[in-house]
Amino acid sequence: MKKTLLAASVSLAALTGTAAMAMDDVVVAFAGTEDLKNDAEYVFIHAFAESMAQHGVDVTVHPSNTLGKESDRFDQTSQGLIEVNIGNGGSLMKASKWASTLFLPFLSSDEASFDRMVEESGALDRINEEASRLGVRVAGFAMRGGTLGLFNTEKPVTTLADLKDMRLRAQNGDQVTYMSAWGAKPTVVSWAETPNALQTGVAVGHFNPPSTVVAAGQVELLDYFTPLDAGPVPKVIMLSDDWYSFLTEEERGWVDDAIAEGISVNREWALEQVPYFEQTIQDGGIEITPLKEGERDKFVAASRSVWNQIVPQDDVDFISQYAD
Residue 275, number of CB atoms within 10 A of its CB: 11
Kindly report, residue by residue over 130-178, the tens digit of the pLDDT. Answer: 999 999 999 999 999 999 999 999 999 999 999 999 999 999 999 999 9
Positive or negative CA dihedral for 185, 89, 275, 286? negative
CA distances (Å), origin 58, targets 195, 224, 246: 35, 43, 18
Predicted pLDDT of residue 324: 82
**pLDDT tens string 264-280:** 999 999 999 999 999 99
Q: What pLDDT, on the 0 to 100 scale, is given for residue 11?
A: 37
What is the mean pLDDT of the segment spanning 213-239? 96
Do 111 and 270 meet the contact criterion of CB atoms below 8 Å apart?
A: yes
Question: CB-based contacts of 31: which residues, under 8 Å, 6+ apart?
Answer: 41, 63, 64, 65, 69, 70, 86, 88
Domains of the chain: 20-145+233-277 (3.40.190.170), 149-231+280-320 (3.40.190.170)
Instruction: Name residues whose C-beta falls within 8 Å of residue 130's C-beta, 6 or more positions apart in sequence.
Output: 95, 96, 97, 98, 99
What per-residue confidence (pLDDT) applies to 22?
A: 46
Backbone φ and ψ of 40, nearest 5°: -60, -40
pLDDT of residue 193: 95
* Residue 4: pLDDT over 90: no
> How far is it, in rounded angstroms, from Cα 257 to Cα 247?
14
Count of Cβ atoms closer than 10 Å to residue 288 Cβ: 14
- The reported pTM is 0.88
DSSP state of 286: P
Give yes or no for residue 6 having a pLDDT over 70. Answer: no
